[in-house]
């Protein structure tokens, strides 16, 4: 059976994530297979608000925001997998992180490619394995847990 790959532009992402500027950290979904995996793009620009303080003379994307971008990609995959949207009274909240490793810095002008794979789903807890790359080089990897909560 052939898997159906989906792609989402920024308008599609806005339907599946409640995040907005300045905290929306993914720009495009290039591949999404519900129940399996998602690939997202984050275009990193000098105009990001965090660069004014991290660090003024040597701008580096904070690792916690790289992880947040990974979690947002996982959130889109979760919503698409169950056929819901945040407006349905549910959200996917970041519930845990394991094995986070930062291997290189992400700086203005980089295009970060995020790949998240669904490893397991137990009731309302989803476990993902993720990796972020720039120019094919791993910049971060982590295992994330997301919880489906009613709001």
- The pLDDT confidence band at residue 2, using thresholds 50, 70 and 90, is low
Neighbouring C-beta atoms of residue 123, cutoff 10 Å? 7
Q: Are 142 and 100 in contact (CB under 8 A)?
A: yes
Q: Is 19 a catalytic residue?
A: no
Domains belonging to the chain, first-starting first, are 6-150 (3.10.129.10)
pLDDT(1) > 60: no
C-alpha gyration radius of the chain = 15
- Distances in Å between the Cα of 54 and the Cα atoms of 59, 69, 125, 138 are 6, 17, 33, 21
Of 12, 14, 27, 54, catalytic? 54
Instruction: For residues 127 and 95, give the distance between their C-alpha atoms in angstroms, rounded to a whole number.
Output: 10
The pTM of the full predicted model, rounded to 2 decimals, is 0.96
The residues, any chain, with a CB within 8 Å of residue 75's CB and separated by 6 or more, are 16, 17, 92, 146
**pLDDT tens digits for 9-42?**
999 999 999 999 999 999 999 999 999 999 999 9
**pLDDT tens digits for 52-104?**
999 989 999 999 999 999 999 999 999 999 999 998 888 899 999 999 999 99
């Amino acid at each position: 059976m052939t898997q159906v790959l989906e792609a989402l532009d920024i308008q599609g992402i806005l339907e599946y994530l409640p995040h907005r500027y300045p905290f929306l950290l993914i720009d495009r979904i290039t591949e999404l297979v519900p129940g399996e995996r998602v690939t997202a793009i984050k275009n990193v620009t000098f105009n990001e608000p965090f660069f004014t303080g991290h660090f003024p003379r040597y701008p580096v994307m904070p690792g916690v925001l790289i992880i947040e971008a990974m979690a947002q990609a996982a959130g889109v995959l979760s919503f698409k997998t169950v056929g819901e949207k945040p407006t349905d009274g549910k959200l996917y909240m970041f519930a845990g992180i394991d094995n986070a490793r930062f291997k290189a810095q992400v700086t203005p002008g980089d295009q970060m490619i995020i790949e998240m794979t669904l490893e397991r789903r137990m009731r309302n807890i989803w476990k993902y394995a993720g990796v972020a790359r720039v120019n094919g080089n791993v910049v971060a990897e982590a295992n994330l847990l997301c919880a489906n909560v009613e709001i």
